[in-house]
Amino acid sequence: MIEGKSNFIFDAIKQAISNKEKLLSILIDPDKFDLSKSETFLNRIPASTNYLFVGGSQVENGQTELVVKRLKQFSELPIILFPGDINQITNKADAILFLSLLSGRNPEYLINQQVKSISKLQHSSLEIIPTGYILVDGGVSTSVLKISQTRAISQDRISEVIHTALAGQFSGKQLIYLEAGSGAKFPVSAEIISEVKKNISIPLIVGGGIRNNLQKQTAHQAGADMVVMGNAFEMP
């Protein structure tokens, strides 16, 4: 963590896990979000929501900040950036997942985008949370895969997912995020979640393809500390 920046949100996540609480975040894609329906959207999400994630694969420059500012008008939930690129960084949010796409092996998303972001982050007030981001095959070719020019790890290759997660932990990541991708036909399997959770000692986030309460509960019961849902709450 950069000296002088708070770690309030990360500490709250760790405390919740220590208390055996299961966390829920709702992911908002700024490119698909209707600003005029912000209050309606927030009224639709579960009362158990702990955080709002904001970000997408491709977002028009400046749109993320507009969405964050609008959400702040109607909600006191902490807003965490989940950026697809450096243009989605805004100081109006509370924190940012400082993502490294560990599954893809593409240097642009392992380190190059991160280096490019420093001029925006070094003197910002955002809480920066180093996060190992691992794409697991959800049965569709997602926009993240197309943009990053990478492949997701097959759900049959459980050892590779575990080793990738451990590589992230050993390199200093504070969170591991298993992602099946937006619009996934099926979410990350309970077996993968369970095995990864058994092997790492840092918080585990799971998202992609989780559309209903049963899928959310399954992910939580398998070992996910935080579940991320998105498409289920997108506005028509």
**102 is an annotated ligand-binding site residue:** no
**231 is an annotated ligand-binding site residue:** yes
Tokens of 195: 């095995």
With 0-12 / 13-18 / 19 or more C-beta atoms within 10 angstroms meaning exposed / middle / buried, residue 20 is: exposed
Neighbours of 149 (CB within 10 A): 10
DSSP per-residue string spanning 175-196 = EEEEE--TT-SS---HHHHHHH
**57 is an annotated ligand-binding site residue:** yes
- Residues composing the chain: 236
**208 is an annotated ligand-binding site residue:** yes
Q: Which of 207, 209, 220, 155 is nearest to 186 (CA)?
A: 209
**182 is an annotated ligand-binding site residue:** yes
The H or E element spanning position 52 is: strand 51-54
**209 is an annotated ligand-binding site residue:** yes
The H or E element spanning position 15 is: helix 8-18
Neighbours of 225 (CB within 10 A): 22
**34 is an annotated ligand-binding site residue:** no
**179 is an annotated ligand-binding site residue:** yes
- C-alpha count within 13 angstroms, C-beta hemisphere, residue 162: 14
**178 is an annotated ligand-binding site residue:** yes
**177 is an annotated ligand-binding site residue:** yes
- Please state, in angstroms and rounded to a whole number, the distance separating the CA atoms of residues 41 and 11: 28
**25 is an annotated ligand-binding site residue:** no
- Please state, in angstroms and rounded to a whole number, the distance separating the CA atoms of residues 42 and 52: 10
Binding-site positions for sn-glycerol 1-phosphate: 177-183, 208-209, 230-231
Binding-site positions for Mg(2+): 29, 57
Binding-site positions: 29, 57, 177-183, 208-209, 230-231
